[in-house]
């Protein structure tokens, strides 16, 4: 699908900066979890780091885009043009 320059996209990631893209979120999460293990070598501390980081990744990569799509906010923005 090609979009015209004056049309707004319905993809939530088109409105986010480079540091808030799925690849950067996943890469940051993996780096934090791996770094915790490589620096400390304590599985329980790595697990304490991993739980909120994985929760954060799941929310922003999987749940957030679906919530934005369901809310219709991008449709409303497109219709207001």
Tens-digit pLDDT string for the chain (81 aa):
444 444 677 899 999 999 999 999 999 999 999 999 999 999 999 999 999 999 999 999 999 999 998 998 888 666 666
16 neighbors 22 (Cβ within 8 angstroms)? no
Look up the pTM and report it.
0.77
What are the phi and psi torsion angles at 16 (to 5°)?
-105, 150
Cα separation, 44 vs 78, in Å, equals: 47
Q: What is the pLDDT of residue 7?
A: 62
Burial of 39 (0-12, 13-18, 19+ CB in 10 A): exposed
Q: What is the pLDDT of residue 44?
A: 97
Terminus-to-terminus CA distance in the chain, angstroms? 20
Q: What is the pLDDT of residue 77?
A: 62
């Amino acid at each position: 699908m090609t979009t015209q320059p004056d049309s707004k996209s319905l993809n939530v990631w088109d409105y986010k900066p480079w540091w808030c893209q799925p690849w950067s979120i996943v890469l940051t999460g993996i780096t934090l979890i791996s770094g915790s293990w490589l620096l400390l070598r304590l599985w329980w501390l790595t697990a304490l780091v991993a739980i909120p980081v994985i929760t954060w990744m799941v929310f922003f990569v999987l749940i957030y885009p679906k919530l934005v799509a369901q809310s219709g906010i991008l449709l409303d923005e497109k219709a207001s043009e």
